[in-house]
Structure 1
Amino acid sequence: MGSSWKQGLAAFTSVAVVAALLAGCGTNSTSSGKSADTNANSSSETASTSGQKPVEGGSIILDSTQAVPDLDPAVAYDTTSAEVDSQIYQSLVTYDKNTYKIIPELASSYTVSPDGLTYTFKIRKGVTFSNGDPLTAQDFVFQLERILDKKMTPKPSPGNSFFEIIKGATAYYNGTAKTISGVSTPDKYTLVLTLSKPEKFFLQVLAMQFLSAVDPAYVKKVGNAAFDTTSAMGTGPFELKTNNQNKVVLVKNPHYWQKDQWGQQLPYLNQVTINVNNNDQVDALHWEQGQTAFMSPWLIGGDGIPASQYVTIMNTPKYKQLVLKQPANSIFYIGLNTANTINGKPNPLSNVFVRRAMEYGFDDSQFVKINNGAVLPLNQPLPSTMEGYVKNLDSDAKYGLNVAKAKEMLAKAGYRNGLTVDMWDENTSVAMKEDQAFQAMMKNIGITVKIHDVTWKDFLTKAMSGTAQVYQSGWVQDFPDASDFLNTLFNSDQAPTNNNTNYDNSQVDQWLNEAQNDTNQAQRDELYGKVINQVMSDAVWIPTIQMIDYYSVQPWVHGFYTSPVLYDPMSSIWVDPGH
C-alpha cells in the first residue's frame, strides 16, 4: 500500500514524537506489513529517562523508504514530507503531546468570540526564523495568501479548501479580491481571523502544517520551487542543510526559541540525517544493527516495521522490548476512478457495476496476511476508532469475497468477457506484493490489471491529477474529525487533488456540506453515516485495512514519545554520549 497523503494518529505511547498529514496528511501515507502483538510496549514514558536531565549534542541517523516530495508547508500533503516539515516549521497552535487538546505554539495566546466567528491570536514575541529574521503576524497573512493562490507556481496548495471558511477567502481564491477581508493585523504581533460561519474544528485546521509561519522576504528571494525542495526555512527546532533523492540532513536551529525545564535550549541534537533507501528489509537490518536510532511509520511507511523483518523483530526479545505500538486513525484503500473518461479515453469504471464487481472480487484476508496479521480489516472509509464510524452498514453498502456475484456484476455492466484496467502505486516491497495479490484477485473474476509501481513522488503526481484509473493509497488524519476523511476525500469540490476518484454525487455533497457547518455532533454523525453508506453503495473505494502503528526505538535514544496527532519529536530526543 502507498504512503498516505496525511498526518496524525489516534492513541499514544512513548519511550521517554509523531502529520495530515497528512496528510493528512490527513496526508497520504506509505505501505505496511505486520502482526498485532498485544505484548508490544504501550507505556507512555520509559522509566530510565523520565525526569532525567537530557544530554545536549550528538546526532542520529534514520532511514526512509522514500525521498521527500515537498517541503513548502503550503504544498506538502503526505506523511514523508510532513515528518520533515514538522521539524522545520511551526503553526499558530499545536496539540498537547498526550491528548487532542489544542495549545498555543507560535501564538502566545488566543481568544475566540462568543459567536465563534472571530479568532484573535497574540503572536509570540522574540521568535525568529532560523536566518535570524523576526516573526510577525504578517508572516501568517503572507502564507495564507500563498495557500489561497490557485495560480501559485510550480503548483498550488492542496490545502486551500480548509481555509475557505475565512471571510473573503473564496473571493481571493477566485481572483475577485486583492485581499482577504476576514484577515487583519491590528499591530505587529496580533492576527485576527474572521470566519463566514462557525466551524467546530477550525483550531484543528490551524494546527495543520499549511498555515505555518514562513518568511516573506526569504521566500521571495529563493522562489517557490527552491523553497519546496532545497531551501526550506522556518522557525522550527531544525533547519535544512541538505535535501535530495538520497538523503535529508537537518541541523540544529541556533535561533530556536524553546527551552526545556532545565533551561537548556532545544533541540538537544546537533544533526539528524535521514537516508533514503527504497529497501525496507535493509532499513530493518540497519536498525537491528544499531545504525539507525528508530523506525516509525512516518519514515519506514505502513505501520513502522518492514513486513520482511516483522517476525524476526517481534520474536526476538531484545528487539521486541524496544517496540512501542498504538492504534492509528489511518486507513488504506484501493481507489476506483469514477470519471467518464481518462486522458480522453472511455473509462469502464464509470459504470458502478464494474466497481461493484471489483468490490466483490476483493479478498481482504490476503492483505491482512501480507501484513503479517498486524492490521485490521476495513469495510468503510473511516477508521473504527473515529467518531462517525458506522457499525452496521446498509445491505447495499456491504461486500465481501463473492466471485459469482462479481462476474454477475461484470455481465450486468456489459463486460461478460472481461476488461483491462491500469493500477498505480508506489514501488515499495509491501505495496508491490499487495498489488500483485490484487491483480490475481481481479484475474479470477475476469479483469486484467496492468500494474504501474513508481516512486512516491510520481505516484502522488499521478493520483492527485485525477488520472489514475485504479490506485492504492492511504489516509492518515490531519485532525480528529470525520470530516477530514469524508469531506476531504469525497466532496466533488475536492476533485481531483484530494478526491482522486473524481467522485461526484450531489446528494453526498449536500450531506457533507451540512455536516461541515453543523455544530451538533449527533446530527453530524447521522449525516456522515448517510455519506458512508452511499459512498460504499457507489463502490468508490475498496477499503482494505486499518493500521496499528509500531515504533522501534534504540535503548540509547531518550525523549521519544508517540502522540495521537503529532509527528516524530526530534526536538525532544537526546542520545547517550558517543552517539
Structure 2
Amino acid sequence: MALFWKHGLATIASIAMVGALVAGCGTNSTSPAKNAPSGNNSSSDTGTASTSGSKPIEGGSITLDSTQAVPDLDPAVAYDTTSGEVDAQIYQSLVTYDKNTYTIIPELASSYTVSPNGLTYTFKIRKGVTFSNGDPLTAQDFVFQLERILDKNMTPKPSPGNSFFEIIKGATAYYNGTAKTISGVSTPDKYTLVLTLSKPEKFFLQVLAMQFLSAVDPAYVKKVGNAAFDTTSAMGTGPFELKTNNQNEVVLVKNPHYWQKDKWGQTLPYLNQITININDNDQVDALHWEQGQTAFMSPWLIGGDGIPPSQYVTMMNTPKYKQLIQKQPANSIFYIGLNTAKTINGKPNPLSNVLVRRAMEYGFDDSQFVKINNGAVLPLNEPLPSTMEGYVKNLNSNAKYSLNVAKAKQLLAKAGYSKGLTVDLWDENTTVAREEDQAFQAMMKNIGITVNIHDVTWKDFLSKAMSGTAQVCQSGWVQDFPDASDFLNTLFNSNQAPTNNLTNYDNPQVDKWLNEAQNNTNQAQRDQLYGKVINQVMADAVWIPTVQMIDYYSVQPWVHGFYTSPVLFDPMASVWVDPGH
C-alpha cells in the first residue's frame, strides 16, 4: 500500500509505517450516516468503551509509543500526523470540531459571525486565555501567525499551508512581497479579529480548524527564534505544554494556565504528564500495549490503521483485546493512478486511450487488496471516501466497474491491443506495497497486460509521481479538511497537474464543474457538481480506486474519557486514568 501525501509533502504512513499528514480520522465501530458532515457521526459505542459517567479523577500520567519522532512543533509548518498529534495538545485555533462530529464550534474564538455575502468573518477572541507562560491571548496573535504562514521567505523553512489562506483578501500580495500588510485582516479592538475573503468559500471555517493558524505568542517566538520554536521551544494555549522533545521521547506536562473546565468545574487536562516514547518497531509497540505498559494505540501514534499489521489478526481474534478496539472508516483512500498523457518521456502512452484504462478497471479485483490488508480496509469504487459529504451512492452505469476479464480483453482488442501491451508501475518499497503491486501485476496479466514493477524509496517515488511521468502509480490521499473539494479539486483539476493530479487528467468540463463548486456556497448545488465530477472521472477511468482506510484505536480499560473523531487528533485533555475502574 502506497503512502499518502499532501500537496507534495509526505503525509500519513502506509499500513506498516507512519509518515506525515495533517488530518484524518476514526471514530466508531458502525459506519456513520453518509452525506452528513454537520451531524453526529457517532454510534452507541463511540467514546463509551473507554469512558465512564463518573466524575473524572485528576492527576496521574500515561505512557504512549510512537513510531516516529516529531518533525515540526511550529504549527505554521507542521504538516504531518506525528507533529499534528503533539501540536494538537499544545496549540489551539479559532474554531475546532465538536468531539466526534463534523460540526464546527468556537475554540479560542468565543463566538463568530459570517456576513450574508459570505466574505467577512468576525471573531470575538475569548478573554482571559493565556499562553502557558502566562502571556495573554489577543487578536493580534492570529495576525502574527497568519503573516508567518504567508511569509514565503520564513526561515528555516516556510509554511506549506500558505495556499489554504490565499482566499483572504490581500494574502497573495503579501505572500509575493508586493504588500507589507494583509488587506483582508483587521483587529478593530484587542479581542476582535476580522478576516475578509476575496470570494466566498464554503469550507473556510474548516480551513481555520486546521492547525496552521493556531495562536502563538509573538514575543516568545521572536525571543527563541523560528528554529527553536519548531524543535524544542513550543508555547501555546493548549491543555499541555512541552517539557521534552528529542529523537527518543516527547514529554508533555499539564498547562497550569489552561482555560477550559469540565462540567464538574474541574480544570482540564486531568493528566499531569504524557510521555511518548519513540520506537520504530511497531511489533514492540503492540507488545507494550498488550502488556499494559501504554495507554492506547492510535493511527496518529503507530501509523497506518493504528494496529501493527503483524498483530492485527491476533488482536482482532483475541476477545480480551478485540473488546478494547474502536474503529471507523477514515476519510482516506488509496488508488492506482493511470496516466492520461499522450506521451511519457517522448514515447506514445497507450493509457491515453480510455478503452485501455477501462480494460484495466475491469481487470481489477479489489477483494485481493482487502485480503492482503487482513480485512482491515474497505473496498472503494470512487475517488471519495464513503464517509464524506458528496459521496455518490449510486454511480452511473458507465462509471461502475467490477471484475470482468472477458470484457477487459474485448476493450483491449477494440483499442488495438489484442496481443497485449506493457506498462510501468511505480510505488514505494514497503512490504505491503510490494504485495499489492504483485497482486495487481497478476490481475493485469490475466487480461493481457504486462506490468513492470518499480518499487523505490518514498523520496524517489514522490519525485517520479509528481513529475507526471509515472505511467501507473499507486498512492493515496487523506483529507486536509472534511470537504469533497480537498479530494476532487486537488486531485483532478488540470491546474493541479502533475504535483497532485498525478495522472495529468485534463477534462475542461470537469474543470468547469470543479471551479464552480469551489466558490459555491450552496451545499446542495456543490454536491450535484461533485456528483457529476465523480461520475465523469470514473467514466474516464482516470483512477482504479482500491481501498478506503479504517482507523483502529486500542484503548486500555483503565483509560477513561477517550473518544475518537473523524477530524481531530487524540483527545489527551479529556483522558483520565483509574486502574481500579
Instruction: State the TM bucket, normalised to the shorter chain.
Output: 0.7 to 0.9
* Alignment partners' CA distance in 2, 1:571 and 1:117: 34
Q: Choose the corresponding residue for 2:45, options 32, 37, 43.
A: 43
Report the counterpart of residue 108 of structure 1 in structure 2.
110
SS in 1 for 2:326: strand
TM-score by length of 1: 0.83
Report the counterpart of residue 195 of structure 1 in structure 2.
197
Report the counterpart of residue 333 of structure 1 in structure 2.
335
Shift of 1:407: 6.9
Post-superposition CA distance 1:385-428 (Å, at most 9, x none): 3232223334553444455666777785889775463523374x
**Cα pair distance change 1:442/1:134, threshold 3 Å:** farther
Between Structure 1 and Structure 2, how many residues are aligned?
552
Report the counterpart of residue 25 of structure 1 in structure 2.
23
Q: Residues 50 and 555 of structure 2 are in contact (CA less than 8 Å); yes or no, is this contact kept in structure 1?
A: no
Shift of 1:368: 0.6
Matched, 1:179 2:177: no
Report the counterpart of residue 382 of structure 1 in structure 2.
384
* Alignment partners' CA distance in 2, 1:329 and 1:514: 23
Shift of 1:528: 0.7
**Cα pair distance change 1:206/1:462, threshold 3 Å:** farther
Post-superposition CA distance 1:154-183 (Å, at most 9, x none): 544343333222222233334333222111
Report the counterpart of residue 521 of structure 2 in structure 1.
519
* Alignment partners' CA distance in 2, 1:394 and 1:148: 42
Greater Cα shift, 53-62 or 118-127: 53-62
Q: Residues 297 and 305 of structure 1 are in contact (CA less than 8 Å); yes or no, is this contact kept in structure 2?
A: yes
Greater Cα shift, 311-320 or 228-237: 228-237
The structure showing larger relative contact order (alpha-carbon pairs under 8 Å, at least 6 residues apart) is 1
Q: Residues 426 and 461 of structure 2 are in contact (CA less than 8 Å); yes or no, is this contact kept in structure 1?
A: no
The code of the aligned residue for 2:23 comes to C
* Alignment partners' CA distance in 1, 2:462 and 2:236: 25
Q: Residues 63 and 277 of structure 2 are in contact (CA less than 8 Å); yes or no, is this contact kept in structure 1?
A: yes
**Cα pair distance change 1:443/1:138, threshold 3 Å:** farther
* Alignment partners' CA distance in 1, 2:475 and 2:176: 30
Report the counterpart of residue 260 of structure 2 in structure 1.
258
The code of the aligned residue for 1:265 comes to T
Q: Residues 432 and 453 of structure 1 are in contact (CA less than 8 Å); yes or no, is this contact kept in structure 2?
A: no
Gaps of 5+ in 2: 7-18, 32-42
* Alignment partners' CA distance in 1, 2:326 and 2:382: 27
The code of the aligned residue for 2:192 comes to T
Alignment of 1:216-255 (within 5 A): 216-255=218-257
Matched, 1:447 2:445: no
Greater Cα shift, 152-161 or 102-111: 152-161
SS in 1 for 2:257: coil
Shift of 1:500: 4.9
Report the counterpart of residue 166 of structure 1 in structure 2.
168
The code of the aligned residue for 1:423 comes to W
* Alignment partners' CA distance in 1, 2:102 and 2:273: 29
* Alignment partners' CA distance in 2, 1:259 and 1:208: 23
* Alignment partners' CA distance in 2, 1:396 and 1:135: 55
Report the counterpart of residue 121 of structure 1 in structure 2.
123
Alignment of 1:132-531 (within 5 A): 132-336=134-338, 348=349, 351=352, 358-402=360-404, 412=415, 418-419=421-422, 421=424, 423-425=426-428, 427=430, 429-441=431-443, 445-454=449-458, 471-495=473-497, 498-501=500-503, 503-531=505-533
The code of the aligned residue for 2:352 comes to N
* Alignment partners' CA distance in 2, 1:26 and 1:323: 18
Q: Residues 330 and 474 of structure 1 are in contact (CA less than 8 Å); yes or no, is this contact kept in structure 2?
A: yes
Q: Residues 378 and 546 of structure 1 are in contact (CA less than 8 Å); yes or no, is this contact kept in structure 2?
A: yes
Gaps of 5+ in 1: 7-20
CA RMSD of aligned residues (A): 3.7
Q: Residues 425 and 471 of structure 1 are in contact (CA less than 8 Å); yes or no, is this contact kept in structure 2?
A: no
Q: Residues 50 and 562 of structure 2 are in contact (CA less than 8 Å); yes or no, is this contact kept in structure 1?
A: no
Q: Residues 35 and 375 of structure 1 are in contact (CA less than 8 Å); yes or no, is this contact kept in structure 2?
A: no
Greater Cα shift, 263-272 or 355-364: 355-364
**Cα pair distance change 1:381/1:345, threshold 3 Å:** same
SS in 1 for 2:287: helix
Shift of 1:83: 2.0
Post-superposition CA distance 1:259-292 (Å, at most 9, x none): 3333333222232233333343333222111122
The code of the aligned residue for 2:169 comes to K
Q: Residues 30 and 328 of structure 2 are in contact (CA less than 8 Å); yes or no, is this contact kept in structure 1?
A: no
SS in 1 for 2:513: helix
Q: Residues 120 and 196 of structure 2 are in contact (CA less than 8 Å); yes or no, is this contact kept in structure 1?
A: yes
The code of the aligned residue for 2:102 comes to Y
Post-superposition CA distance 1:61-94 (Å, at most 9, x none): 2223344444332333333332222112110011
* Alignment partners' CA distance in 1, 2:60 and 2:118: 46
**Cα pair distance change 1:410/1:47, threshold 3 Å:** closer
SS in 1 for 2:488: helix
Shift of 1:107: 0.9
**Cα pair distance change 1:395/1:95, threshold 3 Å:** same
Shift of 1:306: 2.6
The code of the aligned residue for 1:449 comes to I
SS in 2 for 1:214: coil
* Alignment partners' CA distance in 2, 1:447 and 1:405: 19
Q: Residues 4 and 79 of structure 1 are in contact (CA less than 8 Å); yes or no, is this contact kept in structure 2?
A: no
| Identical pairs, percent | 83
Q: Residues 71 and 85 of structure 1 are in contact (CA less than 8 Å); yes or no, is this contact kept in structure 2?
A: yes
Q: Residues 425 and 453 of structure 1 are in contact (CA less than 8 Å); yes or no, is this contact kept in structure 2?
A: yes
Post-superposition CA distance 1:335-368 (Å, at most 9, x none): 45567888x7869587355655654443211111
**Cα pair distance change 1:516/1:528, threshold 3 Å:** same
The code of the aligned residue for 1:146 comes to R
TM-score by length of 2: 0.83
The code of the aligned residue for 2:213 comes to L
**Cα pair distance change 1:48/1:323, threshold 3 Å:** closer
Q: Residues 83 and 298 of structure 1 are in contact (CA less than 8 Å); yes or no, is this contact kept in structure 2?
A: yes
Post-superposition CA distance 1:12-64 (Å, at most 9, x none): xxxxxxxxx9955369x9xxxx999xxxx952344885332222332222223
Shift of 1:546: 1.7
Q: Residues 368 and 545 of structure 1 are in contact (CA less than 8 Å); yes or no, is this contact kept in structure 2?
A: yes
Q: Residues 146 and 213 of structure 2 are in contact (CA less than 8 Å); yes or no, is this contact kept in structure 1?
A: yes
Shift of 1:215: 2.5
Q: Residues 110 and 125 of structure 2 are in contact (CA less than 8 Å); yes or no, is this contact kept in structure 1?
A: yes
**Cα pair distance change 1:214/1:422, threshold 3 Å:** farther
* Alignment partners' CA distance in 2, 1:26 and 1:282: 25
**Cα pair distance change 1:458/1:243, threshold 3 Å:** farther
Q: Residues 410 and 418 of structure 1 are in contact (CA less than 8 Å); yes or no, is this contact kept in structure 2?
A: no
Post-superposition CA distance 1:448-469 (Å, at most 9, x none): 1111244xx8877876777776
Q: Residues 303 and 548 of structure 1 are in contact (CA less than 8 Å); yes or no, is this contact kept in structure 2?
A: yes
Report the counterpart of residue 561 of structure 2 in structure 1.
559
SS in 2 for 1:446: strand
